[in-house]
């Protein structure tokens, strides 16, 4: 049972007492950082008994557990969300105010845990929040990278990457569990013995051993006393400090060795949607998988009288993309070599336990590993993959004659490469995409032969976001307003936001919504001013595109629109347009040249537009550096327009689209990813859809017929912009943006920026007109909020739980 919640006064007294006992300070001597740690420890004291009780309950009830394996968990900062979920946020806010502190300043002391690249990692974090909040026994397994995703600085318009040493100060949410450490083996020789009964036994010798030490982070459910665990593994040398006493070369050899082991969990690979076969990354993947699977089996044995052949009754493992797909051969290895299962029974267990989520169809992102690398680093795992492949290919040859010719496209090992998506499909009982269109593309195009082989495996689970963080926490004013009119039930049942439709034409309600948006915009305008020195008009349209920088996401289309508007205003300075503030935030992968050029272009255009008095402040272009969860939390509540303009078929789902919709922004978007499902709900009248459809795009890719140069030659607006780039009109030197120019004209505009340019401009003219009609706009905004309940990750998790995991709330 939970303790009665602290009152404001008690909370305040706790802060004061703790300051005395832990810091030997009075309140007026304390700095914001002290207070941050004090509040974290108050929260931890609330959490700890519940954390223990939750684990006990799971044991008592002997319920099935879900393990979400992911190379990324982009949790962001936890103090405010933990306070919210513990039911202590109000008390904390008021106590802090009484003590003379600004709550947001205290919460901002926390360094984001940036252990993810983007959508995939943030999705994992939202899922954990929903699992706990909905009373599911579900835990995360990931890696405790010492360096998270790089910190972005912009110097003269160029992206500079700095290491993100997020653990510099003590991280109050983790606890090291040394007694749960496990040993991971790399390299070595595999020896094969024939046993008396004729079966084979495998033993490994001369392996390199690495300790995996877990650090646990509590995952607090929303006011329900459920605390699940996010377990992050850290690599350590099996040597102890005291072993490092040799002198001379041995000492340095050992230190070096220790260093290279710690490197395994040294940093997060900073790529989103591009795969490079780096050995250290493969090591990381096996490290995560082996430590997690060992731990899962240990827990199963500890709590069950059942034999491991019943594993699937008590355990399900969801792999987040193919990054943890070595879970399949690793589970096979343990069942075969340590538990002495036959191949057939091991395979039956494995394929009943593992479920796979695909997050992309971009071919450059699909993981493959060189066969030789796998053989050298993980010899036994390689043998098992080879055997899986042999059996799978034989099965096609004998049982699916119609697919014989396709074997090279289906084989797990082909052309000296191991194809991890193919391994994941073959070795799991469920394969899901992350939005309806994405799953359809998997079934009908990308993975169509696998779909023929295993039609029942494929299913869709449209992504979601936790409305607790992305509405309640980031936009308390809007949340209160919603509760004022429809009551508080939507917090538990976000689909009930639909009741807002009754108020979507209620002028007094709409005016209040307008007022909240204005206040959020003023707050963001202040942040922009503090960080960039630029003053933006809080009455202007805040037009927002925030996401990783990638060609397919088409930030370029957005900046071309801005250049077009600027050119228009230069020609017609008195053009009557509603002032606009274009807000960007985006990190580019460090080696992604074109993406970095686009960042430079945005800055260059900004430096011209923002200071040109001819256009009378009608346009402002803002790039906020170092996009991360905390920055998103500040921008999203202030967005009027949500730019979701990927080349159709390329964005598997998107989740920023859902976050902005939930905060009342109107989407300008292509029919891609989850935009389509947003459109199904709100209709064309509450959203601005434009551009090629996925079918049209795929048709161009397969049959040709698109010529970017034709558009350049016939559309003066396009010609003008590209010539401005080519002639160095935007740039300190002439060759600055030539690569963008060449990519569009000589590589035939692979992402159809020019093709969608005109419809995009026309759509933005409609946006402009719609924005001027205040009440209509606010009605659209409220309609979007009303339908956004579907995109709570609670709905997504419920679907995973009933369709895939077969688990019930505990
Ligand atoms: C690939 C790689 C390659 C190697 C280095 C590190 C790294 C990190 C991530 C990725 C995978 C990219 C896949 C991805 O993030 N997909 C996104 O998943 C979101 C959640 O499902 C979805 O909303 C986005 O549309 C999709 O692009």
Spacing, Cα 678 to ligand 1 middle (Å):
21
Q: How confident is the model at residue 323 (pLDDT cuts 50, 70, 90)?
A: very high
Is 231 among the catalytic positions? no
120 lines ligand 1 (CB under 6 A): yes
Residue 212, ligand 1, Cβ within 6 A: no
pLDDT of 225 higher than 90? yes
- How many other C-beta atoms can be found within 10 angstroms of the C-beta atom of residue 93? 21
437 lines ligand 1 (CB under 6 A): no
Does the pLDDT at position 216 exceed 60? yes
With a 6 Å cutoff on the Cβ, whether 221 touches ligand 1 is no
pLDDT digits (tens, 9 = 90+) for 377-436: 999 999 999 999 999 999 999 999 999 999 999 999 999 999 999 999 999 999 999 999
C-beta 652 within 6 A of ligand 1? yes
Give the number of the atom of ligand 1 that is nearest the alpha carbon of residue 367.
Answer: 3
Q: Hey, which residues does 65 pair with through a beta bridge?
A: 315
Per-residue pLDDT, averaged over 245-272, amounts to 84
**517 annotated active-site:** no
Which residues lie closer than 8 Å to 24 by C-beta, 6 or more apart?
Answer: none
579 C-alpha to ligand 1 centroid (Å): 35
**482-491: long-range contacts, CB 8 A cutoff, minimum separation 24:** 482/785, 485/509, 490/789, 491/222, 491/467
Torsion, Cα 293 294 296 301, to 10 degrees, reads 140
251 CB neighbour count, 10 Å cutoff: 12
List phi, psi (to 5°) of 792.
Answer: -70, 140
Mean pLDDT of the chain: 96
Q: Which domains does the chain show, CATH number per domain?
A: 64-76+112-302+314-357+419-447 (3.40.50.2000), 467-692+750-797 (3.40.50.2000)
Annotated catalytic residue within 359, 457, 603, 634? 359
Q: Tell me how far apart the alpha carbons of residues 622 and 583 are, in angstroms, rounded to a whole number.
A: 5
- For the chain, the first-to-last Cα distance in angstroms comes to 15
The Å distance, Cα 77 to ligand 1 centre, comes to 21
Q: Ligand 1, residues 149, 269, 272, 694: which to mutate, most atoms within 8 A of Cβ?
A: 272
Report which ligand 1 atom has the smallest distance to the Cα of 268. Answer: 6
| Nearest-CA residue for atom 5 of ligand 1 | 271
Ligand 1 mean position to 129 CA, how many Å?
A: 20
Distance CA 590, CA 578 (A): 36
- What's the rounded mean pLDDT across residues 296-325? 96
In the reported structure, the alpha carbon of residue 145 is separated from the centroid of ligand 1 by a whole-number distance in angstroms of: 18
For residue 1, pLDDT beyond 50: no
Q: How far apart are CA 454 and CA 397, in angstroms?
A: 15
Nearest CA owner, ligand 1 atom 4 = 275
Q: Which atom of ligand 1 is nearest to the CA of 652?
A: 25
Candidate of 73, 118, 591 to mutate for ligand 1, largest count of ligand atoms within 8 Å of Cβ: 118
Q: For the CA atoms of 370, 375, 380, 385, what is the dihedral angle to 10 degrees? A: 30
Candidate from 125, 273, 460 with most ligand 1 atoms within 8 A of CB, to mutate: 273
Ligand 1 pocket check: which of 269, 270, 365, 657 to mutate, most ligand atoms within 8 Å of Cβ? 365
The Cα 76–Cα 149 span in angstroms is 12
Q: Is 123 in the pocket of ligand 1 (CB under 6 A)?
A: yes
Strands (DSSP E) found in 394-520: 413-414, 417-419, 430-433, 458-460
Asked if residue 271 has its Cβ within 6 Å of ligand 1, the reply is yes
Which atom of ligand 1 is least distant from the CA of 673? Answer: 25
Residue 247 is predicted with a pLDDT of: 65
**Averaged pLDDT, 570-592:** 97
CB neighbours (10 Å) of residue 350?
Answer: 26
The span from the CA of 103 to the CA of 100, in Å, is: 9
Predicted confidence at residue 82, as pLDDT, reads: 98
Closest C-alpha residue for ligand 1 atom 12: 273
Give me the mean pLDDT over the 155-176 stretch.
97
**Whats the size of the chain, residue-wise?**
810
Q: Is the CB of 558 under 6 A from ligand 1?
A: no
Q: Which of 231, 380, 659, 755 is catalytic?
A: 659
Active site annotation includes 600: no
Helix (H) or strand (E) run with residue 380 in it: helix 379-399
CA distances from 762 to 689, 766, 768 (A): 11, 7, 10
> pLDDT tens, 423-454?
999 999 999 999 999 999 999 999 999 999 99
Question: Closest Cα partner for 84 from 285, 220, 249, 178?
Answer: 220
- Residue 17 scores a pLDDT above 80: yes
| Cβ within 8 Å of residue 803, ≥6 positions away | 430, 459, 461
- The phi, psi pair for 554, rounded to 5°, reads 60, 50
Q: Are strands 458-460 and 430-433 parallel, antiparallel or unpaired?
A: parallel
| Residue 66 CA, ligand 1 centroid: distance in Å | 22
Give 263 Cα–ligand 1 centroid separation in angstroms: 23
Task: Say yes or no: CB of residue 275 within 6 Å of ligand 1.
Answer: yes
Ligand 1 centroid–CA 548 distance in Å is 10
Pick from 260, 368, 363, 364: nearest CA to 323: 368
Regarding the beta carbon of 109 and ligand 1, being less than 6 Å apart is answered: no
- 3-state SS, residue 775: helix
> How far apart (Å, rounded) are the C-alpha atoms in residues 620 and 110?
31
**Among 230, 428, 435, 447, which residue's Cα sits nearest to residue 325?**
428
Quote the ligand 1 centre to 728 CA distance (angstroms): 34
Catalytic residue chosen out of the listed positions 12, 521, 548, 561:
548
User: What pLDDT is attached to residue 728?
Assistant: 85
143 has pLDDT over 80? yes
The finding on whether 269 has its CB within 6 A of some atom of ligand 1 is yes
CA 161–ligand 1 middle distance (angstroms): 20
Indicate yes or no: pTM above 0.95: yes
Ligand 1 proximity of 255 Cβ (cutoff 6 Å): no
Query: How much distance in Å is there from the Cα of 499 to the middle of ligand 1?
Result: 34
Residue 222 to residue 493: CA distance in whole angstroms: 12
User: Above 70 in pLDDT, residue 3?
Assistant: no
Count of other CB atoms within 10 angstroms of residue 689: 18
Please answer whether residues 143 and 233 qualify as being in contact, where contact means their C-beta atoms are separated by less than 8 angstroms. yes
Query: Do the Cβ atoms of 146 and 265 come closer than 8 Å?
Result: yes
Q: Which of 422, 547, 620, 650 is catalytic?
A: 547
> Does the Cβ of 543 fall within 6 Å of ligand 1?
no
Give distance in angstroms: CA of 34 to centre of ligand 1: 37
The Å distance, Cα 634 to ligand 1 centre, comes to 23
57 is catalytic: no
Residue 782 to residue 664: CA distance in whole angstroms: 6
Relative to beta strand 182-186, strand 208-220 is antiparallel
pLDDT of residue 288: 99
The 10s digit of each residue's pLDDT in 752-798 is 999 999 999 999 999 999 999 999 999 999 999 999 999 999 999 99
Distance of CA 420 to the CA centre of its chain: 20
Angle, alpha carbons 206-210-212 (nearest 5°): 145
Q: Which of 117, 325, 661, 796 to mutate to test the pocket of ligand 1 (most atoms within 8 A of CB)?
A: 117
Ligand 1 touching residue 273 (CB < 6 A): yes
pLDDT at position 248: 64
Give the per-residue pLDDT at 379: 98
Active site residue 207: no
Which residue owns the Cα nearest ligand 1 atom 16? 359
d(CA 93, CA 106): 10
CA distance 647 to 636: 23
Nearest CA to ligand 1 atom 23: 654
Res 246 pLDDT > 70 = no
Task: Tell me, in angstroms, the distance from the centre of ligand 1 to residue 321's CA.
Answer: 8
């Amino acid at each position: 049972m939970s303790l009665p919640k602290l009152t404001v006064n008690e909370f305040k007294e706790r802060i004061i007492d703790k300051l005395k006992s832990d810091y030997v300070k009075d309140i007026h001597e304390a700095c914001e950082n002290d207070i941050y740690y004090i509040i974290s420890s108050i929260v931890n004291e609330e959490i700890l008994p519940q954390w223990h009780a939750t684990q006990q309950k799971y044991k008592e009830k002997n319920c099935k557990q879900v393990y979400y394996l992911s190379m990324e968990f982009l949790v962001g900062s936890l103090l405010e969300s933990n306070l919210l979920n513990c039911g202590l946020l109000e008390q904390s806010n008021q106590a802090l105010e009484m003590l003379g502190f600004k709550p947001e300043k205290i919460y901002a002391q926390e360094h984001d845990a940036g252990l993810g690249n983007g959508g995939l990692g943030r999705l994992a974090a939202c899922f954990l929040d929903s699992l706990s909040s909905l009373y599911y026994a579900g835990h995360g397994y990931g890696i405790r990278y010492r360096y998270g995703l790089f910190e972005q600085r912009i110097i003269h318009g160029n992206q500079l990457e700095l290491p993100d040493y997020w653990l510099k100060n003590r991280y109050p949410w983790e606890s090291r569990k040394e007694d749960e450490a496990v040993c991971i083996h790399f390299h070595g020789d595999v020896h094969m013995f024939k046993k008396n009964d004729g079966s084979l036994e495998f033993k490994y010798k001369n392996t390199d051993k690495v300790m995996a030490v877990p650090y646990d982070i509590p995952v607090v459910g929303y006011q329900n006393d459920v605390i699940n665990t996010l377990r992050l593994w850290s690599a350590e040398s099996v040597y102890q400090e005291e072993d490092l006493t040799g002198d001379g070369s041995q000492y340095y050899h050992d230190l070096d060795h220790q260093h290279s082991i710690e490197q395994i969990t040294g940093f997060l690979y900073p790529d989103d949607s591009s795969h490079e076969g780096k050995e250290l990354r493969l090591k990381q993947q096996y490290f995560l998988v082996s430590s997690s699977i060992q731990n899962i089996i240990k827990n199963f044995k500890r709590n069950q009288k059942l034999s491991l052949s019943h594993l699937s009754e008590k355990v399900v493992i969801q792999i987040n993309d193919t990054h943890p797909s070595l879970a399949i051969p690793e589970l096979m290895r343990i069942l075969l070599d340590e538990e002495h299962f036959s191949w057939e029974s091991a395979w039956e267990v494995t394929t009943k336990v593992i479920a796979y989520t695909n997050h992309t169809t971009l071919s450059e992102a699909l993981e493959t590993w060189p066969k030789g690398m796998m053989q050298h680093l993980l010899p036994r795992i390689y043998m098992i993959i080879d055997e899986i492949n042999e059996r799978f290919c034989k099965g096609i040859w004998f049982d699916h004659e119609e697919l014989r010719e396709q074997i090279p496209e289906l084989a797990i090992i082909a052309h000296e490469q191991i194809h991890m998506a193919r391994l994941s499909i073959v070795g799991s009982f469920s394969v899901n995409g992350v939005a309806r269109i994405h799953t359809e593309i998997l079934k009908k195009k990308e993975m169509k032969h696998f779909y023929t082989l295993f039609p029942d495996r494929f299913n869709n689970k449209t992504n979601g976001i936790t409305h607790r963080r992305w509405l309640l926490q980031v936009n308390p004013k809007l949340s209160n307003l919603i509760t004022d009119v429809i009551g508080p039930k939507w917090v538990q049942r976000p689909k009930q936001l639909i009741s807002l439709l009754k108020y979507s034409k209620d002028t007094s309600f709409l005016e209040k919504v307008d007022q909240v948006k204005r206040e959020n915009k003023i707050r963001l305008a202040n942040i922009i001013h503090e960080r960039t020195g630029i003053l933006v008009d809080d009455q202007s349209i805040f037009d927002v595109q925030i996401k990783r920088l990638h060609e397919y996401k088409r930030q370029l289309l957005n900046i071309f629109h801005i250049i077009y508007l600027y050119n228009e205003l230069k020609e017609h300075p008195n053009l009557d347009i509603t002032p606009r503030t274009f807000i960007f935030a985006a990190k580019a992968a460090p080696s992604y040249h074109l993406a970095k050029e686009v960042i430079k272009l945005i800055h260059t255009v900004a430096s011209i537009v923002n200071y040109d008095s001819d256009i009378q402040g009608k346009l402002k272009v803002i790039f906020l550096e170092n996009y991360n969860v905390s920055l998103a939390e500040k921008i999203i509540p202030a967005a009027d327009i949500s730019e979701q303009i990927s080349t159709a078929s390329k964005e598997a789902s998107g989740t920023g689209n859902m976050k902005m919709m939930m905060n009342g922004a109107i989407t300008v978007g292509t029919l891609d990813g989850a935009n389509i499902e947003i459109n199904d709900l709100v209709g064309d009248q509450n959203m601005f859809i434009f551009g090629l459809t996925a079918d049209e795009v795929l048709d161009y890719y397969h049959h040709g017929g698109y010529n970017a140069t034709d558009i350049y030659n016939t559309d003066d607006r396009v010609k003008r912009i590209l010539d401005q780039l080519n002639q160095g009109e935007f740039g300190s030197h002439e060759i600055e943006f030539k690569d963008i120019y060449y990519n569009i004209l000589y590589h035939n505009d692979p992402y159809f920026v020019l093709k969608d340019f005109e419809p995009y401009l026309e759509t933005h003219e409609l946006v402009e007109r719609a924005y001027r009609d205040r009440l209509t706009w606010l009605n659209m905004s409220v309609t979007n909020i009303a339908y956004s309940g579907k995109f709570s990750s609670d709905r997504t998790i419920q679907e995973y739980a009933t369709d895939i995991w077969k688990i019930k709330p505990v």
